[in-house]
A and B are shown apart, each in its own frame.
Chain A
């Protein structure tokens, strides 16, 4: 097997997963992809280490967790850890919005058999038992399809093949590292009078040692919003992988070349109990990192003097049986499941248009919809016209219960 065969095997095996990581028994990353809004590469690695340390995974075991203070991202994002082979573990994440409680690392299947105790306590007792059971069974079905491909799994798990793959990815990193500028750049973002994030990016080669350092020194201590270090690292790793065009070759050989310095208990290193600020902080840190790398590699040095944060609006509308997550940003608008809200007569549209670059959405809440609206980030800026209003009152981050005939207006430029 050469590196190309290994790469093809990985891509085929993991084709059906949107966001996942593959590691060996030592926890070395072999492959990772993040195709959701939220980025979880290092979060998945932390989850694996926790399960490995406390639950000693065996082949055909399947574990889940979602605790943001203990390796998770947020309650609704379920992280699965599966042992495909004694030297191969798959970690992936899936959204399930009706889970709003903490799940510590839990064995769902023990060596292929349902853990009846856990099943009873976690699933059967839940008001959405049937849906939840179908959701977990489907995840198990998908991973069983992989395990069935014994020859391919054996090949990917073989230490010799893994070494060859890691060596190839190291080679790729070396090429890409050398193709970009060396040096450092720094920027900060102040999102309240007392809260700011400072990030210094440096890419240096000393005595043949290539190293990317991301230094958050002088970032404020956490008071308003904050996230666990693995949440921030996941965003940075993805940004670096994209900027250096590493693609499929994001492995442990690349992670070992990235050093992240995070002051303890700071905005970027304190887990929040619910993970509410994770996506927002990932977005801020990604953008600062991107700004630094662009500045460093720009032919016109100091082309953009100050970091300008490109904000977004992320809100969810839901009730006991329905969930819609919506995102409006400079990159585009994605009102996922919003059309279902209309078709199910939970809301009545008054306006829904895009004229030039402005999106204007107005709707009424219908009778008995029992909807809740949760604005997940601090989208508001006095400089911009972007706003979300409830009955003509500007709403900021937070949860509101909607009543019949409430009027919501969203303007996004």
Chain B
């Protein structure tokens, strides 16, 4: 067992929870400090600065830490086209080939930044010209994906490409099976998410020391080396490991940014917003409603919760700044008693905020034009609670579902459900120490 302090971070899309442990003392795993923040209001950097102050009180001499990260942060990328700072070196005639599987998917590379090569007919001068061209389009370009089938390039030419782009200061990502479009998508996604991962790593190292080890929960447990695209399933894989450790096949997880049903079973291909990516991942199902979905009158003037989530900023009304009520706001009374929410949303117990939420729902309730299609706010809440439970039963193979997560008690009130204790920092440390992976 290492004597280096251990830090556990859950970095979600909208919130983060961090804790550090008293590892140096033998046989002790006391959680010395824990803090949660709502990311649209407090940045990760700011959180780490605050934590560092406490950390130094406990470990004044330490210049390094073992940092374990489970993340859903990269889900923020899921609504965007990627590849704005990535060039793609590809054989002429195969420009944008990876998009043909389904052109409705988001793109992973900018067409203008493609360097297409003629078979065996390129040299450094040509590459220089091409690099000048694309640098004019995006001077901040800093990554390149090389995807040329082996049979069309000699090892000397490949070396030339690598040397050229290394000298030019571009980080290289190589797709070794260039004919396989799903592998090309995977390589492009690795390149497209590199910046976000690096940003997280650098902020952690800046706070806890350059010599700190940052391990992310990836495909095979906590790792320092992995493919970036594995981080898109970091949380789901971690939660699947958690249910495995508890000797159950599946369970429903609830927190402020996701309600989902997790299975131990694995899938081999991930249907990402950018197309199918060949990567092993734990199966999961998003439950029918998202905590960040807006509660509104639809085009029929029916009070309902929208299908998809709103953007994270400004968040729910309970966070203090928003004026559009979200599904979470329906449960503001219950959330006011919830530990995580009290940490995330400091104003949640303020009377004026409660009044504001109550008014917003009252306006919606009264705005329904057709009495035959009218719904009361309380009925909507009951409907959500009942439907979530029904959906869990649907996925569950027994009548006793297992539920866990910071908001499990808010959304599952049936006594039949079996509840598991869950704390992000403690579970992260437990799994990191056991070195286990599914």
Contacts and interface: CB of A to CB of B under 8 A. Distances in A.
Interface string B303-337: 01000000000000000000000000000000000
A334 B103 contact: yes
Nearest to B275: A339
Contacts of B343: none
A121 interface: no
Interface stretch (B89-97, B162-170, B209-217): B89-97
Given A13-B394, A175-B300, A245-B299, A336 B386 contact: no
B180 interface: yes
Nearest to A332: B103
Nearest to B395: A145
A163 interface: no
Interface stretch (B194-202, B249-257, B370-378): B370-378
B300 A176 contact: yes
A4 B375 contact: yes
A336 B100 CA distance: 9
Residue picked from B100, B181, B370, B383, most chain A C-beta under 10 Å: B100
Interface in B372-390: 372-373, 375, 379-380, 383, 386-387, 390
A2 B391 CA distance: 18
Nearest to B287: A12
B422 interface: no
B286 to A, nearest CB: 10
Contacts of B94: 349, 351-353
B113 to A, nearest CB: 14
Interface stretch (A124-132, A164-172, A374-382): A164-172
Given A4-B383, A167-B372, A15 B394 contact: yes
B383 A353 contact: no
B277 to A, nearest CB: 12
Given A8-B387, A175-B300, A334-B101, A353 B179 contact: no
A13 B390 CA distance: 9
A149 B101 contact: no
Interface stretch (A24-32, A66-74, A107-115, A354-362): A354-362
Contacts of B111: 355
B104 interface: yes
A343 interface: yes
A12 B380 contact: no
B122 interface: no
Contact of A339 (B103, B181, B302, B379): B181
Contact of A5 (B102, B301, B386): B386
B373 A171 contact: yes
B383 A352 contact: no
B288 interface: yes
- Chain B's interface size range is 35 or more
Given A4-B383, A171-B370, A354 B99 contact: yes
A295 B316 CA distance: 41
A4 B379 contact: yes
B93 A350 contact: yes
A338 interface: yes
A399 interface: no
A397 interface: no
B182 interface: yes
Interface string A315-358: 00000000000000000111110110011000001111111000
Contacts of A2: 375, 379
Contact of A338 (B95, B101, B379): B101
B74 interface: no
B179 A342 contact: yes
A152 interface: yes
A332 B101 CA distance: 10
B297 interface: no
B47 interface: no
A8 B383 CA distance: 8
A167 B94 CA distance: 55
A3 interface: yes
B393 interface: yes
Nearest to B100: A335
Interface string B251-277: 000000000000000000000000000
Interface of A: 2-5, 8-9, 11-13, 15, 145-146, 149, 152, 167-168, 171-172, 175-176, 245, 332-336, 338-339, 342-343, 349-355, 359-362
Interface of B: 93-97, 99-104, 111, 179-182, 288, 299-302, 304, 370, 372-373, 375, 379-380, 383, 386-387, 390-391, 393-394
Cβ-closest 6 pairs across A and B: A332-B103, A351-B93, A354-B96, A352-B97, A8-B387, A333-B103
